[in-house]
C-alpha cells in the first residue's frame, strides 16, 4: 500500500483522462487574494458538497500558484462562466499570463472585488464566495473545501461546459 493509503494504480493517467472526458464538467474560474497579490485559474472540478452547512469544493494540482493565495487570504471566489466565455477559460488556463492585477485586466469587473478577497469576473453567470475550511491532499491534487458565505446568480445564460476535450454549451432536449 502507498503512503496515501491507496493501492498502486492499475489504470494509467491516459486511461483515466480518456474515460473522464465522457463526463461533462462546468467551467469556472477560481480567484483569490487581495490588492496586487491576486490570481485566478480555470477549474472544471467545482462542486457543491453540502446545503447545511453550505459547503463547496474544487481540486487543484499540487503546487498551483493559487493554493498559497487561498491559504494566506483564507478565501476564494468561484466564478461560473457563461457559454460565450471560453476565451476567459483559456486565458485563466494559460500559465504564461501575468500575475497579479495584470492577469485580470480584460476580465475583472472593478466593482466585483470582494472585501474578503477574490474577484467576481465580468460576464460570469454566478459566483460562490467561500471561506477556506481545509485542504485535503489527494494524490497529485489538493481538494479545497470552502464554506459558502455569499453566492448569487448574476444573469440568465447557458453555462460553459467541458466535455470530450473541448468547450461546449448545453442545449435542451426536445420533448417527445
Domain span at residue 93? 26-162
Domain assignment of residue 133, yes or no: yes
Backbone angles phi, psi at 80, to 5 degrees: -90, 120
Rounded to an integer, the average pLDDT of 8-18 is 78
Domain assignment of residue 115, yes or no: yes
Residue with cell 473522464: 20
What cell numbers appear for 27 in the block? 467551467
**Total structural domains within the chain:** 1
Residue 33 confidence (pLDDT):
84
Which tens digits make up the pLDDT trace of 36-87?
Answer: 788 899 999 999 999 999 999 999 988 888 899 999 999 999 999 999 999 9
What cell numbers appear for 41 in the block? 485559474
Q: Is the pLDDT of residue 110 over 60?
A: no
Sign of the torsion angle spanned by Cα atoms 145, 141, 83, 102: positive
Q: Is the pLDDT of residue 103 over 90?
A: no
What cell numbers appear for 110 in the block? 472593478
Of 56-60, 116-120, 149-153, which gets the smallest average pLDDT?
116-120
Domain assignment of residue 167, yes or no: no
Q: What is the pTM of this model?
A: 0.87
Query: Domain with 110 in it: what CATH number?
Result: 2.30.110.10
Amino acid at each position: 500500500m502507498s503512503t496515501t493509503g491507496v493501492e498502486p494504480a492499475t489504470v494509467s493517467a491516459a486511461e483515466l483522462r480518456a474515460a473522464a472526458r465522457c463526463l461533462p464538467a462546468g467551467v469556472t474560474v477560481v480567484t483569490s487574494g487581495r490588492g496586487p497579490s491576486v490570481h485566478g485559474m480555470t477549474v472544471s472540478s467545482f462542486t457543491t458538497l453540502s446545503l447545511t452547512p453550505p459547503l463547496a469544493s474544487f481540486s487543484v494540482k499540487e503546487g498551483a500558484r493559487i493554493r498559497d493565495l487561498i491559504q494566506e487570504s483564507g478565501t476564494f471566489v468561484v466564478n461560473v462562466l457563461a457559454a460565450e466565455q471560453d476565451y476567459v477559460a483559456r486565458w485563466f488556463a494559460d500559465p504564461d499570463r501575468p500575475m497579479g492585477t495584470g492577469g485580470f485586466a480584460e476580465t475583472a469587473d472593478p466593482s466585483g472585488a470582494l472585501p474578503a478577497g477574490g474577484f467576481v469576473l465580468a460576464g460570469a453567470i454566478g459566483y460562490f464566495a467561500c471561506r477556506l475550511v481545509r485542504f485535503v491532499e489527494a494524490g497529485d491534487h489538493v481538494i479545497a473545501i470552502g464554506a459558502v458565505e455569499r453566492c448569487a446568480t448574476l444573469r440568465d445564460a447557458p453555462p460553459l461546459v467541458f466535455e470530450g476535450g473541448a468547450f461546449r454549451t448545453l442545449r435542451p432536449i426536445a420533448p417527445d
